[in-house]
Amino acid sequence: LARYEQPDDIVWDEEKYRGSAYAAFAWAVYVAEVTVDLVTYGVSVDDFVAIQEVGKVLHPVLAKGQIIGGVAQGVGFALYEKVIWENGRMQNGQMTNYIMPTSADLPDIRVFFEELSNVHGAFGAKGIGELPMDGPAPAIVNAIEDALHIAFDSIPLLPEDIFDALAERAVPEIAPSSAQGRQ
């Protein structure tokens, strides 16, 4: 029978919910370069860089594939995959109406690893699966926000969402004091 035992140098206070909850943390940096088409309001991800610190990379080809797959899902989360719910049921659960990116929609995804071995991980490795699911969509949205100088607060950013945000910015609200003229 196997049983998990917390390493001696990892301290966690269950009552105060403070300390080091895990023995190993992986880190990542994601950078996206995008183009926003101001005619169609569609977004293309032109380049994507993923830098991962996952401890010792045990199988470089599989590790790179894991990152590329996660980035591909992040592109979908950011730009395509809108779930429509009605009465607690997904209304667009078919390949015809739940849009996902294809390989033609993906940029060149450049993956780099920084290997900092972890004494608690198997052979010095850390987790690799979670980070590429979490970071790409915010990186893409940040790049869109940088291009348009507009903040967005939800994903996916569909062309109609970008159109609405640009239209709203183009028609500013007129406050009573701004209606007064000066000479």
pLDDT in tens, 68-114: 999 999 999 999 999 999 999 999 988 888 889 999 999 999 999 99
The pTM for the full model equals 0.83
> What is the arithmetic mean of pLDDT over 150-165?
96
**What residues does each domain of the chain span?**
23-151
> Could you tell me which residues come within 8 angstroms of residue 145 by beta carbon, excluding any fewer than 6 positions away?
151, 152
Active site residue 130: yes
pLDDT at 49 over 50: yes
What integer pLDDT is reported at residue 129 of this predicted model?
Answer: 85
What is d(CA 81, CA 63) in angstroms, rounded to the nearest whole number? 25
What integer pLDDT is reported at residue 120 of this predicted model?
Answer: 82
What integer pLDDT is reported at residue 180 of this predicted model?
Answer: 31
- Given a contact cutoff of 8 angstroms between Cβ atoms, the answer to whether 179 and 172 are in contact is no
Peptide bond into 132 cis (omega under 30): no
Q: Which CATH class is domain 23-151?
A: alpha beta
For all residues of the chain together, what is the average pLDDT? Answer: 89
Which position has the higher pLDDT, 30 or 117?
A: 30
Give Cα separations from 78 to 5, 63, 138, 143 (angstroms). 38, 23, 7, 11
List 33, 130, 145, 168, catalytic entry: 130
Q: Which helix (H) or strand (E) holds 142?
A: helix 136-148
